[in-house]
Amino acid sequence: MSPSATATTLPTEPVTPAVTETEATIAEFTARGYDAGFVTDISTDTAPPGLREDTVRFISAKKNEPEWLLEYRLRAYRHFLTLAEPDWAHLNYDPIDLQDITFYSAPKLKEIKNIDDLTPEERADYDELIKTYEKLGVPLHERSKLSGVAVDAVFDSVSVVTTFKEQLGKVGVIFCPLSEAVENHPELVKQYLGSVVPHTDNYFSALNAAVFSDGSFVYIPKGVRCPMELSTYFRINAAKSGQFERTLIIAEEGSYVSYLEGCTAPMRDENQLHAAVVELIAMDDASIKYSTVQNWYPGDENGVGGIYNFVTKRGACRGKRSKISWTQVETGSAITWKYPSCILQGDDSVGEFYSVALSNNRQQADTGTKMVHIGANTRSTIVSKGISAGHGQQTYRGQVKMLKGAKGARNYTQCDSLLMGDTAIADTVPYIEVNNSSAQVEHEASTSKINDDQLFYLMQRGLSAEDAVNLIVNGFCKDVFRELPMEFAVEAQKLLEVSLEGAVG
């Protein structure tokens, strides 16, 4: 785009592929395997369903919160009541009945100081929890094979285990459940909570601010490079419950952290709501790398059940030369509504968004990013890879905004869609706004189909149809996978293969 002070909005162009004669090789989707679909049977502490002011007070009381936090929640709740659910996204779903949802559900088991002190009942619950995470491949023992990764395990509304806290504490890194941070580091939480995503931001962020339960809190002090990967593993278990976690990451001047989140849920026939908020803050020369492997239950092949994933994620590059990089692999959820964004405030700060999103069967995803360039010479890169199969529906929605002060700012956007079969849909909706004549915006988009020539070529060399598709899809996603930490890149690749099982007849 030539440097000019004009605002450009590219038209929405739904791309529906035509049926070709030799298309028999890519058949309709059948049921897919979902390994994480089991239920954990433990005693829980659960709030009665529905959303009222009482509910907000109940959650706050459960967590013994200070008055200021209760006030914050109530402000958010009252604001929430004035809002209507947004309908601009390209998503079709029945209205969510908030009065039917449980907003708090936690294992009764709490604060295990010594396993030997547990009653037999508690011990059974403890074993169940540990088993759950073992089944999911999440290392809760510090001596496990992924020992370079610290884990915070969030089960429904609370964090059940956080590993390596002590070791991280030695270098000044705080990694703990948000509720614990409220208790032990109230000044930090007070200063930063809601400072990137205010409760007034949108419908779901207001809801989250009112009823958020747990999530992770990360603080990296000045000049510290976090010695290990931090990760949070979110698990929804209870029926008819929602998960409303909140994550807050603060990277002080010159620090670095790489953080990863993973998510799964049991297979249930009803839809479950997940409305999270993630806030990242990077000071001068700080760098935050945030990776997501989202594998919430997607629903069955007819679109029954699955998680409604409405998430607000935003990072503020407050400092000069700071950097925030989002990488997401979104294979789960019935509905995904998610736009991890960067506010590039500090001069020379950098925002990145790398995304692979898959919609199979009846899954719908409306996802993308916002890059708001405020500071001079800020740079952003967007690489979005959407894969749509079966009756899947996929929308890339992205906004690049160059404000007046963003002298010499640059954005590069690459937005590719891959369609499989003749019933999948992909849309691209980029919004570009440039208010500074020295800013540069580049946008490339493509839509392709796995074509029969490619499939036949690979099969002629001995690959099965399924292996051939996987190879093509992995090639398509390569630019994003290589942004993930090594062990998770392998996981993501496997996840994608499982999610595409049955894609080829």
Residue 25 within binding range of another protein, rule CB under 8 A:
yes
24 binds another protein, rule: CB under 8 A? yes
Residue 5: Cβ-neighbour burial (10 angstroms; 0-12, 13-18, 19+): exposed
Decide if residue 457 touches another protein (CB under 8 A): yes
Stretch that binds another protein, among 45-53, 243-251, 284-292, 470-478 (CB under 8 A): 470-478
C-beta closer to another protein: residue 202 or 384: 384
Taking each helix axis from N to C terminus, what angle separates 465-481 and 486-499, rounded to the nearest 10 degrees? 140
Q: How far is the CB of 464 from another protein (least distance, A)?
A: 5
Tokens (6 digits) for 187? 């000044």
Piece in contact with another protein (CB under 8 A), picked from 195-203, 353-361, 420-428, 472-480: 472-480
* Min dist. Cβ of residue 355 to another protein (A): 16
Among 33, 37, 148, 475, binds another protein (CB under 8 A): 475
Residue whose CB is less far from another protein, 128 or 487: 487
Nearer to another protein, 52 or 478 (CB): 478
Contact predicate 432/10, CB 8 Å: yes
CB of 167 to another protein, least distance (A): 34
**367: exposed, middle or buried (Cβ count in 10 Å: 0-12, 13-18, 19+):** buried
- Choose between 64 and 460: whose C-beta lies nearer to another protein: 460
Question: Counting contacts by CB under 8 A, is residue 18 touching another protein?
Answer: no
CA-closest candidate to residue 231, choices 209, 206, 249, 204: 249
Residue 45: HSE in the Cβ half-sphere, 13 Å Cα cutoff: 12
- Mark the segment that binds another protein (CB under 8 A) among 50-58, 201-209, 324-332, 471-479: 471-479
Residue of 459, 487, 493, 497 that binds another protein (CB under 8 A): 459
Quick check: 462 binds another protein (CB under 8 A)?
yes
Q: How many CA within 13 A on the CB side of residue 316?
A: 16
CA–CA dist 385, 396 (Å, integer): 9
State how far the Cα of 421 lies from the Cα of 249, in Å rounded to an integer: 41
Instruction: Show the tokens assigned to 60.
Output: 């706050």
Residue choice 200, 458, 487, 497 for contact with another protein (CB under 8 A):
458
Q: Which is nearer to another protein, 419 or 439 (CB)?
A: 419
**Closest among 180, 149, 177 to 161, alpha carbons compared:** 177
Query: Tokens standing for 395?
Result: 């929308």
Q: Does 490 bind another protein (CB under 8 A)?
A: no
Q: What is the binding site for another protein (CB under 8 A)?
A: 21-22, 24-25, 451-454, 456-465, 467-468, 471-472, 474-478
